[in-house]
Structure 1
């Protein structure tokens, strides 16, 4: 399983790539593996205001339907338009092509609540 060092992670298994006041969000390799084959993705519209810890979308797999949670508060400025037509991209490329949304952060201090790769791996091991 892959956990890129430059990413941050949530306890709900989202990953976050921080670039200044912009974050890209998706679900981790661990999450996509646990879900199995992803068959449907529901994402918010550009301009949607998100609150950290609240659901922003849905991922449906052959095993389960799961909410996806906003890791930070802010405005959705871009949505991966490819995912609704190719949801399996989350399985094949969770950290690159399988990204879900980009958020303009409204409170950068919320980034301090996210785990680094080592802490996330330890979290997963504790959960198992």
Structure 2
């Protein structure tokens, strides 16, 4: 009997909801993707999504946390951040002007990523940004 083996690899990390954990999330992403041409874009995306979880959800409250997942295959790098909920509304992409002090993070993520998806997840939300390794597969180039 042959076993099915996937070429995709998946990593996960749960971080306490402290602001300094955003830099830890960036380093973690950079370490995993150190040989990938998508590493810088992925690092920026993880930074924005982690900061949003801490700033806008229960992840940033006492005893709060957020979870990162990174999945990589030959076709895509998928970066997900799951927050602790309590925001009242789902995160949404807004394209604000450059002078705005807040609300530009997901807009920036959507400009970098080829696809951004928001899902309800255990009382919170999971935001997943995908970077295609071959831009001919769809989406816009990074």
Same fold, judged at TM 0.5 (above): no
* Structure showing the higher strand proportion among its residues: 1
Q: TM-score, normalised by structure 1?
A: 0.33
The structure with the larger Rg is 2
* Structure showing the higher helix proportion among its residues: 2
Q: TM-score, normalised by structure 2?
A: 0.31
User: Which has the higher relative contact order, 1 or 2, with Cα contacts under 8 A spaced 6 or more apart?
Assistant: 1
